[in-house]
């Protein structure tokens, strides 16, 4: 005589196995969804965290560069036998290629060096209320690592460096710095600290406002600028001992996931350095737009997720007409 399941309330072994298999499948799918969601959330968190640092660094860079000063004045070309007036200054504004004779890693764009009244002194110095003391400043990208707590070394990577020389250590007025322009710049590297990581390129474009200079080549043909170039010639170029009216800044930053793939020891990874080979050598607006497109295509080909940050920094003390 057969049993009625409705009376006993029992399940057969096959039904239990099927129910267990369905439950296991649901758990696997549920865990997969959680894993994907966690991965997406982590990537989004890494991206937000990385790019928040870049935005903060860009704000610092923008604020400080806008305060650049050169304190130019009119003087005689020769104090003994004067023939003309000319602009003179003991200060220096310089935008050049990073690396080589200058701080920074070659192939990471431009480096910016200048003086500004930031009033920064060392922790051991006391200067009362002298908040307008002149500091030498610099921004550039460096590939390397740095010592963390207890001397532990961090991973190799790209970092945007900020150098602010304390006012009591200012070297720009030294005789050697007045002639070559390199001594005070080289001295800045000993005061450099990273303010953002994973920034792989810094473009600094000294120019007149875009509305006045749509071609972008009025002040420079190759993104460089040196306020001491031909500053004793007759006539002086308009850049001699003068600040550019604006500097257009572009930062290219990798997200954290892409940066983690680039760990390659003490040598800059070719996947990154190759992206910028042959680019951003001409400061014409047409070339810049074309190079920007090529850079994005190369980043995509290397499967590197990067974001571009741009701003135009007005130099408040620029007197250029």
**DSSP secondary structure, 223-266, as one string:** S-EETTTTTTSSSPPTTTT---SEEEEEEEEE-HHHHHTT--TT
Contact (CB, 8 A) for 67 and 314: no
Contact (CB, 8 A) for 159 and 194: yes
Higher confidence at residue 179 or residue 318? 318
Within 8 A by CB and 6+ apart from 304, the residues are: 254, 258, 261, 271, 272, 275
DSSP 102: S
The parent domain of residue 103 ranges over 33-122+130-314
Question: At residue 205, what are phi and psi to the nearest 5 degrees?
Answer: -120, 100
The verdict on residue 321 lying in a domain is no
The verdict on residue 11 lying in a domain is no
State yes or no: pLDDT of 293 exceeds 90. Answer: yes
Contact (CB, 8 A) for 300 and 231: no
**Residue 37 — left, alpha, or beta (φ > 0 → left; ψ -120 to 50 → alpha)?**
alpha
Higher confidence at residue 174 or residue 198? 198
* H-run or E-run covering 189: none
Identify which of 37, 57, 51 has the alpha carbon closest to the alpha carbon of residue 257: 51
Percentage of the chain modeled with pLDDT above 90:
55
What does the block give as tokens for 9?
A: 């309330």
Mean pLDDT of 119-143: 81
Positive or negative: CA dihedral 221, 226, 231, 233: negative
State yes or no: pLDDT of 119 exceeds 90. Answer: no
Q: Collapse the DSSP code of 222 into the 3-class scheme (helix H, G, I; strand E, B; otherwise coil) and give the result.
A: coil
State yes or no: pLDDT of 233 exceeds 90. Answer: no
Higher confidence at residue 290 or residue 6? 290
What does the block give as tokens for 96?
A: 């050049």
C-alpha to C-alpha distances, 221 to 201, 310, 321, nearest whole angstrom: 19, 20, 19
Mean pLDDT of 75-84: 80
The verdict on residue 202 lying in a domain is yes
Mean pLDDT of 114-140: 82
Q: Give the pLDDT of residue 42.
A: 60
The verdict on residue 1 lying in a domain is no
Q: Give the pLDDT of residue 43.
A: 60
Q: Highest mean pLDDT range out of 24-38, 42-56, 75-89, 270-284?
A: 270-284
- In 3-12, which ranges are continuous DSSP H helix? 5-8
Question: Where does the pLDDT of residue 98 fall: very low under 50, low under 70, confident under 90, or very high at 90 and above?
Answer: very high
Within 8 A by CB and 6+ apart from 227, the residues are: 70, 89, 91, 92, 93, 94, 239, 240, 241, 242, 243
Higher confidence at residue 44 or residue 175? 175
Question: Where does the pLDDT of residue 1 fall: very low under 50, low under 70, confident under 90, or very high at 90 and above?
Answer: very low
Number of domains in the chain: 1
The verdict on residue 7 lying in a domain is no
Question: Where does the pLDDT of residue 23 fall: very low under 50, low under 70, confident under 90, or very high at 90 and above?
Answer: confident
Mean pLDDT of 105-117: 96
Higher confidence at residue 67 or residue 266? 67
The verdict on residue 90 lying in a domain is yes
pLDDT in tens, 136-189: 999 999 998 875 554 555 688 999 999 999 998 899 988 777 776 788 998 899
Higher confidence at residue 295 or residue 12? 295
Contact (CB, 8 A) for 69 and 260: no
Q: Give the pLDDT of residue 122.
A: 81
175 forms beta bridges with none
Within 8 A by CB and 6+ apart from 317, the residues are: 67, 68, 69, 70, 243
Say how far apart CA 87 and CA 229 lie, in whole Å: 12
The verdict on residue 239 lying in a domain is yes
Percentage of the chain modeled with pLDDT above 70:
85
In the sheet that 94-97 helps form, which strands lie side by side, from edge to edge? Answer: 192-197, 157-165, 135-144, 110-116, 94-97, 225-226
Q: Give the pLDDT of residue 227.
A: 95
Q: Give the pLDDT of residue 232.
A: 83
What does the block give as tokens for 44?
A: 């989004």
């Amino acid at each position: 005589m057969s049993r009625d399941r409705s009376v006993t309330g029992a399940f057969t072994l096959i039904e239990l196995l099927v129910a267990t298999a369905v439950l296991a499948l649901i758990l696997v799918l549920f865990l997969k969804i959680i894993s994907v969601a966690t991965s997406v959330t982590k990537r989004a968190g890494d991206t937000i965290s990385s790019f928040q640092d870049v935005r903060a660094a860009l704000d610092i860079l923008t604020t400080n560069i806008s305060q650049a000063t050169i304190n130019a004045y009119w003087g005689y070309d020769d104090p003994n036998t004067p023939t003309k007036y000319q602009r003179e200054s003991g200060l220096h504004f310089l935008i050049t290629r990073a690396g080589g004779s200058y701080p920074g890693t070659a192939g990471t764009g431009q480096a910016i060096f200048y003086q500004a009244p930031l009033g920064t002194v060392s922790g051991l110095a006391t200067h009362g209320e002298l908040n307008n003391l002149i500091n030498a400043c610099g921004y550039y990208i460096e590939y390397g690592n740095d010592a963390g707590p207890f001397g532990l070394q961090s991973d190799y990577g790209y970092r945007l460096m900020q150098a602010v020389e304390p006012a009591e250590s200012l070297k720009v007025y030294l005789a050697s710095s007045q002639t070559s322009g390199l001594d005070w710049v080289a001295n800045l590297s000993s005061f450099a600290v990273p303010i953002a990581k994973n920034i792989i390129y810094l473009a600094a474009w000294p120019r007149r406002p875009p509305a006045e200079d749509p071609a972008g080549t009025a002040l420079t043909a190759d993104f460089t600028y040196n306020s001491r170039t031909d500053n004793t010639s007759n006539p002086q170029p308009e850049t001699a001992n003068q600040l550019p009216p604006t500097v257009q800044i572009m930062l290219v930053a990798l997200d954290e996931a892409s940066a983690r793939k680039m760990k390659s020891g003490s040598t800059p990874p070719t996947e990154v350095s190759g992206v910028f080979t042959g680019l951003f050598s001409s400061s014409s607006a047409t070339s810049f737009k074309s190079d920007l497109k090529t850079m994005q295509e190369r980043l995509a080909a290397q499967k590197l997720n990067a974001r571009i940050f741009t701003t135009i920094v007005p130099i408040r003390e620029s007197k250029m007409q």
